[in-house]
Structure 1
Amino acid sequence: MQVEDQIQISDLINGWMYRDLGAWDKLRGLFHADGTIEVTWFEGAFGDFVDASARMGRSALRTKHLIGSPVISAHGNRAIVETNAVIVADNIELGLGCAAHNRFIDRAEKRNGTWKLLRRESVYDMGSFTFPSGVVEVARDAVARHPREYAALAYLLEQSGFPVRRVFATRGSGLERMMKAEARDWLLG
């Protein structure tokens, strides 16, 4: 892989800040037109995700993503990119927030000389609640419906009107192993 390719892929990963800034057109430009995403509150076409993110941006829920340095594995015009991230969220009406540590598993593809993301998935490593205005009661039974690794994030999302509809990959889980195996097959495919 050429240095220019590594830089272009790293720029895609760092471009996630466009979501936090509400720069929707720039965010849309990170993915190929047929790109997809699967995260706690959204699964589907990336263009639809951008529209849904804009709706979230108008809600009481605020988010910030702290993105680490990507680890890139490339083969030809395809790459798998794994990146540590921290999702910081705060619902200003509820006085409740969370910090969730995750890893994005991205498939990137070079088409017509340009790298863009094709698929984004997330593995959740750990998370906890934050209380910016003092301790707030949480419904323990609602929290317990989700794996501990992202239970605080899922609870905050659901209380903010963004339901989590299924179980997602957590560190060391069978879902993580399957996700990575499928990504490797795609990379070498």
Structure 2
Amino acid sequence: MTPTLQDRQDIANLMTGWIHRDLADWDGLRELFHPDGRIEVTWFEGPAGDFVDASARMGASDFRTKHLITAPVVTFSADGTRAVSETNAVIIGENVRLELGANGHNRFIDRIERREGVWRIVDRKSVYDFASFTFPAGLVEVDKAALAAYPREYGALAYLLDVSGFPVQRVFATKGSDLERTIKQSAHDWLEWKDEA
């Protein structure tokens, strides 16, 4: 089945639909995922529904985020029911109490499935390219030893999450890493239904 322009638009809408998170529209955010959807990002791994609930708790804290999302690069399965997209994003975070912020550049690797005519995300993972601190009210001291515990590609973002009470518990994929290659190969295999073999 050949993908239509509508299929591509529906998937693009899922990507830009991340604005629901920034606007604290938790029902809208939940609708981006199939009920069995999962997500893995620096501060959360697990069911997408639990991620939405955790995002609501984050939204009520001193930590604020905004996401700038680009158009996705989408590849469809031969039967047109699955797609994998790679989408550039900028994560802008700030802890208003600590007056410390960070910008993180990442790419979302999404597995997307059309069920009963509706495209939704079934799996979202993130690959981190680089990050830097921002200082909204002037320079703030950063613990360089604590920062060094994280890969440079997302160190500033992870540090900010950690001091805000949302710890990063493991190493995540960075540009050119073995983890990135594994994520992409696994997504490609899923697209070709090799996960069903």
| TM-score, L = length of structure 2 | 0.95
CA deviations over 1:69-104 (Å, ceiling 9, x no partner): 100000120000000000000000001000000000
**C-alpha displacement at 1:112, in angstroms?**
0.5
Gaps of 5+ in 1: none
CA deviations over 1:101-158 (Å, ceiling 9, x no partner): 0000000000001100000000000000000010000100110000000000000000
Structure-1 residue corresponding to 2:76: 74
2:58 corresponds to 1:93: no
Summarize the alignment of residues 95-174 of structure 1 with structure 2, pairs less than 5 Å apart. Answer: 95-174=99-178
**Identity of counterpart residues, as a percentage?**
61
Structure-2 residue corresponding to 1:83: 87
Q: What secondary structure is seen at the aligned counterpart in 2 of 1:148? A: coil
**Aligned mates of 1:132, 1:103 — CA distance in 2:** 25
2:42 corresponds to 1:40: yes
Structure-2 residue corresponding to 1:176: 180
Structure-1 residue corresponding to 2:32: 30
**Aligned mates of 1:136, 1:5 — CA distance in 2:** 46
**Aligned mates of 1:176, 1:120 — CA distance in 2:** 13
Q: What secondary structure is seen at the aligned counterpart in 2 of 1:88? A: strand
CA deviations over 1:148-170 (Å, ceiling 9, x no partner): 00000000000000010000000
> What letter matches 1:54 in structure 2?
A
**Aligned mates of 1:9, 1:69 — CA distance in 2:** 10
Structure-1 residue corresponding to 2:190: 186
CA deviations over 1:50-81 (Å, ceiling 9, x no partner): 00000000000000000011000001200000
Structure-1 residue corresponding to 2:6: 4
Gaps of 5+ in 2: none
**Aligned mates of 2:165, 2:42 — CA distance in 1:** 13
Task: Calculate the aligned-residue CA RMSD, in Å.
Answer: 0.4
**C-alpha displacement at 1:179, in angstroms?**
0.4
**Aligned mates of 1:99, 1:188 — CA distance in 2:** 35
> What letter matches 2:135 in structure 1?
F
**Aligned mates of 2:185, 2:115 — CA distance in 1:** 23
